[in-house]
Structure 1
Amino acid sequence: MINIGKYNTLEVKREKEFGFYLGDEGKVDVLLPKSVAEGKSIQVGEKVEVFVYRDSKDRPIATFKKPLVTVGEVAYLKVVFQTEFGAFIDFGLDRDIFVPIKEQRFKLHTGSKYLFYVYLDKTGRIAATTDVENYILNAKDEEKEFKVGEEVIAQIYSKGQSGTIHVAIDSKYKGMILPNEYYIDFYPGTEMKLRVKRIYEDGIIGLTPRKTRLNERDQIQEDILKYLKKNGGFMPFNDKSNPDDIKATFNTSKNYFKMALGGLMKDGKIVQEKEGTRLK
Structure 2
Amino acid sequence: MGMEIGKNHTLKVAREVDFGLYLTNGEEDILLPMKYVPSDTSIGDEIEVFVYVDSLGRPVAVTAQPLAKVGDIASLEVKQVTSVGAFMDIGLEKDLMVPFKEQGQKMEVGRKYVVKVLLDFKTNRMIGTSKIGPFLSQHHDELQEGEEVNILIWQETTLGYKVIINKTFQGLIFHNEIFDHVELGDERTAFVKAIREDGKIDISLQKQGYEAVKDMSQLVLDKIKATGSLALGDKSNPEEIKYKLGMSKKNFKNILGGLYKAGQIEIFDHEVRLKAEG
State the TM-score, normalized to the length of structure 1: 0.71
Deviations 1:74-100 (A, max 9, x none): 123344x32444543333433332334
Instruction: Report the Cα offset of residue 214 of structure 1.
Output: 2.4
* 1:103–1:129 CA contact under 8 A, matched in 2: yes
State the TM-score, normalized to the length of structure 2: 0.71
* 1:72–1:118 CA contact under 8 A, matched in 2: yes
The one-letter code matched in structure 2 to 1:177 is I
SS in 2 for 1:261: helix
Q: Match for residue 129 of structure 1?
A: 129
Task: Work out the CA distance in 2 between the residues paired with 1:257 and 1:53.
Answer: 52
Equivalenced residue count is 263
* 1:139–1:174 CA contact under 8 A, matched in 2: no
* 2:81–2:109 CA contact under 8 A, matched in 1: no
Deviations 1:190-248 (A, max 9, x none): 122212333345555432112312222332455567798475xxx5x525x66456445
Deviations 1:59-113 (A, max 9, x none): 222335443322232123344x324445433334333323345544255453x65
SS in 2 for 1:252: coil
Aligned-residue identity in percent = 36
Where does 1:97-116 land on structure 2 (aligned, <5 Å)? Answer: 97-100=96-99, 103-104=102-103, 105=105, 107-108=107-108, 110=110, 113-116=112-115
Q: Match for residue 90 of structure 2?
A: 91
Change in CA separation of 1:84 and 1:91 when aligned onto 2, cut-off 3 Å: closer
Q: Match for residue 55 of structure 1?
A: 54
Where does 1:103-252 land on structure 2 (aligned, <5 Å)? Answer: 103-104=102-103, 105=105, 107-108=107-108, 110=110, 113-121=112-120, 122-138=122-138, 140=140, 145-163=142-160, 165-201=161-197, 205-211=201-207, 212-223=212-223, 229=229, 235=232, 237-238=233-234, 243=238, 246-247=241-242, 250-252=245-247
* 1:20–1:34 CA contact under 8 A, matched in 2: no
Instruction: Report the Cα offset of residue 157 of structure 1.
Output: 0.8
* 2:80–2:88 CA contact under 8 A, matched in 1: no
Task: Give the gaps of 5 or more residues in structure 2.
Answer: none
Task: Work out the CA distance in 1 between the residues paired with 2:81 and 2:33.
Answer: 30
Q: Match for residue 258 of structure 1?
A: 253
SS in 2 for 1:257: helix
29-38 or 51-60, larger mean C-alpha shift: 29-38
The one-letter code matched in structure 2 to 1:90 is D
Change in CA separation of 1:175 and 1:223 when aligned onto 2, cut-off 3 Å: farther
The one-letter code matched in structure 1 to 2:202 is G
Task: Work out the CA distance in 2 between the residues paired with 1:60 and 1:84.
Answer: 24
Change in CA separation of 1:226 and 1:101 when aligned onto 2, cut-off 3 Å: farther
Change in CA separation of 1:108 and 1:218 when aligned onto 2, cut-off 3 Å: farther
* 1:6–1:70 CA contact under 8 A, matched in 2: yes
SS in 2 for 1:214: helix
Change in CA separation of 1:106 and 1:47 when aligned onto 2, cut-off 3 Å: same
Task: Give the gaps of 5 or more residues in structure 1.
Answer: none
RMSD of aligned Cα (Å): 3.9
1:31 and 2:27 correspond? no
* 1:210–1:216 CA contact under 8 A, matched in 2: no
* 2:88–2:98 CA contact under 8 A, matched in 1: yes
SS in 2 for 1:195: strand
125-134 or 221-230, larger mean C-alpha shift: 221-230
Task: Work out the CA distance in 2 between the residues paired with 1:215 and 1:190.
Answer: 23
* 2:14–2:43 CA contact under 8 A, matched in 1: no
Change in CA separation of 1:13 and 1:139 when aligned onto 2, cut-off 3 Å: same
Instruction: Report the Cα offset of residue 258 of structure 1.
Output: 1.6
